[in-house]
């Protein structure tokens, strides 16, 4: 179903409500939360619970929860199946969403489209007459040259050979020589001589430019289907708890919903962190022993157990900051989208960073998730926002540091796509007449683009002393 909405009107309607309910005033988060609330309200209006067919009075029947996967299964009607305020609280408290762009889905499935620009107009085929000039293949340099073609260099991302085919050579069809051939993508690898007069990159003279036909770059469109997945949890209270807690001004059901919200929040946070960590390891390259290093990046930092002359704890801690900045710049160099702008560290590394002179604590807009077990922001340094993950053990010998770049959802990297941030159902148990609350979150966490791992780096800090 197409979700054609007026973004400005939706934000004007929902932004004041969200700000009043959650305290959020960050422009980027208000934008996607407004779109999500609009979609959620449409969902609520379209899915109402019924007690039965018109004219039939059989009572409510057995208590049952609605099953959105089965047509006509609307539940027993104890309570409407969704609570938008609860969904807003989950969205506001899930600080993992500060690390990845958020693109709300209007339904349980969606379609992500990627654009890429390729050399030679996007043509590739078996017929020699439509072979492109430049291709990329995992064929070795010696084999390329023995075929009479020109070895241009290696792809900076996967190390494959970039090859300029000899247009005048009488060779077999392309797939017969380079069966794994693919087009060279302009956003990943640059061919220096493509727009120039020579392979060395020299420009055309005016006369030559007037007489030389332009080389073509083409646009390729790729699509990826996305399906919502589910986290769900439930809790129950007794009638005695509901009655007795009232004398203290405590709403037992509201407290249960708060606990369930916290559980969903932590589950989503943990999933996002696990994905970021895995992609960061893939980008840096994982080696034996839990140390991460690639051919051109080795940030894993083993601090000295005993200091040389003039060294102190502070000088060792300063090296941690240098490693974070190096990882941020490596992301800019390899991903070509910009430098890393956040990092996630354990509590011990966070303490070391806070002790370094020059660390400026800048509380960020969303501080609602500073609860035990959830990641939380501690400030920023040199343009990199620092978040602490208290799940990392204090006494570990090796402390993982994840550095990444949060984009706008149009480039490579992780993208969070919520369908229903929180769907709540409250039923009354038939035997005890006690309330039971079930909460469900449906979303997709998508590895978008062709090389999402280029936006993250994971490395270790060991022998850290405070």
Q: What is the pLDDT along the chain (466 residues), one digit of tens a residue?
A: 345 567 777 777 887 777 777 777 777 777 777 787 777 777 666 554 444 444 444 455 565 555 544 445 555 544 444 445 666 666 666 777 788 988 888 888 887 777 778 887 655 554 444 567 788 888 888 888 887 788 888 887 777 888 887 655 544 455 567 777 788 888 778 888 888 888 778 899 999 988 988 888 877 777 778 899 999 988 888 888 888 888 888 888 778 887 888 888 888 988 999 999 999 988 877 544 444 444 455 666 666 555 555 566 677 777 888 888 888 998 888 888 889 999 999 888 888 887 776 666 555 443 334 444 556 777 887 788 888 887 888 877 778 899 999 988 777 889 998 888 877 777 877 777 788 888 888 899 999 887 888 899 998 888 777 7
Same domain? 208 vs 233: no
Same domain? 102 vs 144: no
Same domain? 165 vs 190: yes
Residue 72 lies in a domain: no
Residue 360 lies in a domain: yes
The partner residues of 301 in beta bridges, in order of sequence, read 461
**Can you give the pLDDT at residue 1?**
39
Distance CA 109, CA 420 (A): 12
Same domain? 241 vs 170: no
Domain boundary residue, one of 223, 250, 279: 223
Same domain? 31 vs 135: no
The H or E element spanning position 88 is helix 84-93
Mention every residue, 6+ apart, whose C-beta is less than 8 A from residue 375. 95, 96, 269, 273, 344, 369, 387, 388, 389, 390
Give the number of domains in the chain: 2
Same domain? 335 vs 449: yes
Same domain? 154 vs 101: no
**Can you give the pLDDT at residue 276?**
93
Q: What is the three-class DSSP state of 326? A: helix
pTM higher than 0.75 for the full model?
Answer: no
**Can you give the pLDDT at residue 445?**
92
Residue 63 lies in a domain: no
**Can you give the pLDDT at residue 362?**
53
Nearest partner of 457 among 290, 300, 265, 244, judged by Cα: 300
Residue 60 lies in a domain: no
**Can you give the pLDDT at residue 303?**
60
Same domain? 423 vs 283: yes
**Can you give the pLDDT at residue 79?**
46
Residue 56 lies in a domain: no
**Can you give the pLDDT at residue 128?**
45
Domain of 267 in residue numbering reads as 1-47+82-108+228-466
Distance CA 211, CA 305 (A): 68
Q: Phi and psi of 34, rounded to 5°?
A: -65, -45
What tokens does 393 get?
């053990």
**Can you give the pLDDT at residue 86?**
63
For the sheet with 229-236, list strands across it. Answer: 229-236, 435-448, 413-428
Residue 308 lies in a domain: yes
**Can you give the pLDDT at residue 340?**
92
Same domain? 304 vs 447: yes
Same domain? 216 vs 342: no
Domain boundary residue, one of 223, 243, 267: 223
Same domain? 345 vs 294: yes
The H or E element spanning position 8 is helix 7-22
**Can you give the pLDDT at residue 181?**
78
Same domain? 120 vs 194: yes
The partner residues of 344 in beta bridges, in order of sequence, read 387, 402
Residue 313 lies in a domain: yes
Domain boundary residue, one of 169, 191, 223: 223
Distance CA 19, CA 26 (A): 9
Long-range contacts of 122-125 (CB under 8 A, 24+ apart): 122/183, 122/218, 122/219, 122/220, 123/218, 124/174, 124/181, 124/182, 124/183, 125/174
Nearest partner of 154 among 136, 134, 129, judged by Cα: 136
The partner residues of 345 in beta bridges, in order of sequence, read 388
Residue 62 lies in a domain: no
């Amino acid at each position: 179903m197409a979700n054609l909405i007026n973004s400005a009107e939706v934000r004007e309607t929902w932004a004041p409500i969200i700000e009043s309910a959650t305290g959020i005033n960050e422009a980027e988060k208000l934008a996607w939360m407004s779109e999500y609330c609009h979609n959620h309200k449409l969902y609520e209006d379209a899915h109402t619970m019924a007690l039965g067919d018109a004219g039939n009075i059989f009572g409510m029947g057995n208590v049952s929860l609605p099953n959105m996967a089965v047509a006509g299964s609307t539940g027993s009607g104890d309570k409407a199946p969704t609570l938008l305020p609860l969904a807003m609280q989950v969205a506001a408290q899930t600080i993992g969403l500060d690390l990845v762009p958020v693109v709300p889905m209007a339904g349980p499935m969606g379609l992500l489209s990627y654009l890429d620009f390729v050399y030679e107009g996007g043509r590739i085929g078996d017929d020699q007459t439509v072979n492109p000039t430049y291709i990329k293949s995992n064929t070795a340099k010696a084999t390329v040259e023995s075929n009479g073609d020109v070895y241009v260099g290696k792809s900076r991302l996967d190390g494959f050979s970039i090859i300029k085919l000899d247009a005048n050579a009488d060779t077999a069809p392309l797939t017969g020589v380079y069966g794994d051939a693919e087009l060279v993508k302009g956003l990943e690898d640059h061919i220096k001589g493509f727009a120039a007069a020579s392979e060395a990159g020299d420009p055309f003279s005016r006369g030559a430019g007037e007489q030389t036909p332009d080389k073509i770059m083409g646009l390729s469109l790729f699509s990826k289907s996305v399906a919502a997945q589910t986290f769900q949890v439930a809790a129950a209270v007794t009638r005695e708890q509901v009655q007795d807690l009232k004398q203290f001004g405590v709403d037992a059901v509201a407290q249960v919903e708060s606990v369930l919200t916290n559980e969903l929040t932590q589950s989503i946070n943990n999933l996002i962190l696990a994905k970021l960590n895995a992609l960061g390891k893939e980008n840096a390259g994982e080696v034996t022993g839990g140390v991460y290093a690639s051919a051109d990046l080795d940030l894993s930092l083993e601090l000295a157990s005993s200091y040389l002359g003039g060294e102190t704890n502070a000088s060792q801690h300063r090296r941690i900051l240098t490693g974070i900045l190096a990882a941020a710049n490596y992301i800019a160099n390899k991903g070509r989208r910009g430098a890393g702008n956040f990092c996630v560290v354990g509590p011990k590394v966070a303490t070391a960073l806070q002790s370094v002179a020059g660390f400026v604590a800048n509380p960020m807009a969303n501080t609602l998730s500073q609860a035990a077990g959830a990641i939380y922001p501690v400030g920023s340094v040199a343009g990199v926002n620092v978040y602490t993950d208290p799940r990392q053990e204090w006494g570990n010998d090796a402390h993982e540091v994840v550095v990444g770049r949060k984009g706008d959802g149009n480039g490579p990297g992780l993208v969070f796509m919520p369908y229903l941030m929180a769907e709540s159902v409250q039923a009354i148990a038939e035997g005890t007449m006690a309330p039971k609350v079930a909460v469900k979150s449906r979303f997709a966490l998508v590895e978008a683009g062709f090389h999402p791992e280029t936006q993250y780096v994971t490395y270790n800090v060991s022998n850290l002393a405070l």
